[in-house]
Structure 1
Amino acid sequence: MPSCARQQKKTAAMFNIETVDFASPDAAAQFTRSLHSTGFAVLRNHPIDAGLIRQLYAEWAAFFASEEKHGFLFDPVAQDGYFPFKSENAKDSKVKDLKEFYHVYPNRRLPAGVKDSTDRMYAALNELGITLLEWIQSTIPADVRDHLSEPLPDMMRGSDRSLFRVLHYPPVGEGFEPGAVRAAAHEDINLVTLLVTGSEPGLQAQDTAGNWHDVPCDAGMIAVNGGDMLKLATRGWFPATTHRVVNPPPEHNVSRYSMPMFCHPRAEVQLSPEMTAEQYLDQRLREIGLKK
């Protein structure tokens, strides 16, 4: 993976995305502060095995390069399986993103060549997601906690809704619609998203003034951002920051692989007096074209 530390140090400082040492005594406070002020935080010294990350990228790259993927075409109801190139658009965008991907849920179908490592990664990221929600729960202001329908980590415990999405962004060719990008500007749906370092840079976050900033992408980091469900549950105390994946420069137009874990609450969790997690997810899936 390419190093982008020099550029990231400058942009992260401008946007104040904090890089948090997972083992630091004040990691929870640092993490929550960054998530509150920017919608993002970056973890280092985290418990996710670097060798497992490398193994997964290699195994899934082979899957996307094979004809096997067409035998795992997505189920429009269950929302699992393989989604072909240009299946999804960002909310309010009519142009499809330049990507293909696979949706992984617990105890669902997986190609044999990726199953063992993917199951292990899902379990590890699920556990980390609950830990981060515990950090948030312990450090947010009391008036924010008091309005939650239940503690944030409890919303996710026992949930089978968390989604591990494995993405492949092919090299960008010619002839696509004007404005087509790898992932158009959007906000995530869920509570928090855990993104192990992508195989190539490209992730950017937008500040409140509309400026775009590269998110730190050095090997061994996990970028974490809050989603719309967290924003709704905390009455806006945490922002759901707009982010995107930009197209590569012509001199480095290669495939990019990415593996976000979207941490979702149980379906019946009340995010607000008017909306359950299941109702909100259904609404958003229709908006982005994954559900009719």
Structure 2
Amino acid sequence: MEGTVVDFQAATAAPRFARSLHESGFAVLINHPIADELVATVYEEWLTFFNSEAKHRYPFTPDGQDGYFPIPPEEQIRTGRRDRKEFFHLYPWGQAPAEVSLAAATYRERAMALGRQLLTWLQENSPDDVAARFSRPLPAMLENANPNTLLRILRYPPAPVGEPVGLRAGAHVDTNLLTLLTAATESGLERYSRDGKWVQVPKIGGSIAVNVGLMLELASDGYYPATMHRVSHPAGQAAQRSRMSMALFLHPADDVVLGEAQTAAGLLAERRREEAAGP
């Protein structure tokens, strides 16, 4: 039952969601409470923003990690060190472009509320021995954590004409508890299955794909696996269109112990050092 599509409104949604995350590290939510119109507004506004020079007014801060991250130099992309993408990090305390509305901030708050509900589902549907390993109940891990949770809005540009089509985002695992990935404007999201194959994550209009991060894997002692995933280029004309997507990285409070005395703050700092160093 890998990669289950879960109807959020169904009576069996909570156990199906927990089982899917246990078996594959992924689930795809449909009929969830976040309106399609809100997502469409965010994508439309931010595509215009990324296509403008205004984005350069909000350069990212190395310490805070908020703001605009440009497409890396071509040499880094060709050698596989970086992905061909640009994105903006939205934190409640960080930079927010004046050129867009509050739609993205509204989405962030609603996605965080959905994330809390999903953690409650996992808390209530985890085996007793797994739940006993949590240093505190999963929803409680979010208390005082609002500043840490990140909304990343991304634009992948069209594939270069005449060049071999590779990946839009290289294989990786996320750091946080859960990642909520709003259905992108183009397909391409893939996960690595237990039998060693890359499997397309269903792209369903209005859906949200949810995947496990390292923090939840550690907190559950591997019961919920942080699954490798990547973004491939779609075939045909779709590869010549920009791909807009959004990822909410749901983080716990800094002092949450994840396992073996590893705190959330310690793991996040470690991962940021690794990312800065590159491959």
Please confirm whether the aligned pair reaches a TM-score higher than 0.5, indicating the same fold: yes
Of the three residues 170, 186, 207, the one matched with 2:157 is 170
Match of 2:41 in 1: 55
Provide the C-alpha distance between the structure 1 equivalents of 2:113 and 2:99, rounded to a whole number of angstroms: 24
Alignment of 1:7-156 (within 5 A): 16-86=2-72, 94-156=80-142
Q: Deviations over 1:71-124 (max 9, x none)?
A: 10000000000001028xxxxx95211111000111322012324101100100
- On the 8 A contact 2:166/2:232 being kept in 1, the answer is no
- On the 8 A contact 1:97/1:180 being kept in 2, the answer is no
State the Cα distance separating 1:148 from its structure 2 match.
1.0
Match of 1:280 in 2: 267
RMSD (CA atoms): 2.0
Provide the C-alpha distance between the structure 2 equivalents of 1:18 and 1:179, rounded to a whole number of angstroms: 29
In structure 2, do the counterparts of structure 1 residues 125 and 290 end up closer, same or farther at CA, with 3 Å as the change threshold? farther
Q: Residue 194 in 1 paired to residue 187 in 2?
A: no
- On the 8 A contact 2:84/2:156 being kept in 1, the answer is yes
Runs of 4+ in 1 over 6 A off after TM superposition: none
Q: Deviations over 1:229-265 (max 9, x none)?
A: 1000100000111110012334322110000101000
Q: Secondary structure of 1:182's match?
A: strand
- On the 8 A contact 1:95/1:179 being kept in 2, the answer is no
| Runs (5+) with no aligned partner, structure 2 | 74-78
**Normalised TM-score (structure 2):** 0.92
| Runs (5+) with no aligned partner, structure 1 | 1-14, 88-92
Provide the C-alpha distance between the structure 1 equivalents of 2:101 and 2:15, rounded to a whole number of angstroms: 36
The residue type equivalent to 1:167 in the other structure is: L
Count how many residue pairs are aligned between Structure 1 and Structure 2: 272
In structure 2, do the counterparts of structure 1 residues 266 and 260 end up closer, same or farther at CA, with 3 Å as the change threshold? same
Q: Residue 266 in 1 paired to residue 225 in 2?
A: no
**Normalised TM-score (structure 1):** 0.88
Provide the C-alpha distance between the structure 2 equivalents of 1:17 and 1:143, rounded to a whole number of angstroms: 24
Match of 2:216 in 1: 230
Provide the C-alpha distance between the structure 1 equivalents of 2:151 and 2:221, rounded to a whole number of angstroms: 26
Q: Secondary structure of 2:88's match?
A: strand
- On the 8 A contact 2:186/2:234 being kept in 1, the answer is no
- On the 8 A contact 1:96/1:180 being kept in 2, the answer is no
Q: Residue 213 in 1 paired to residue 189 in 2?
A: no
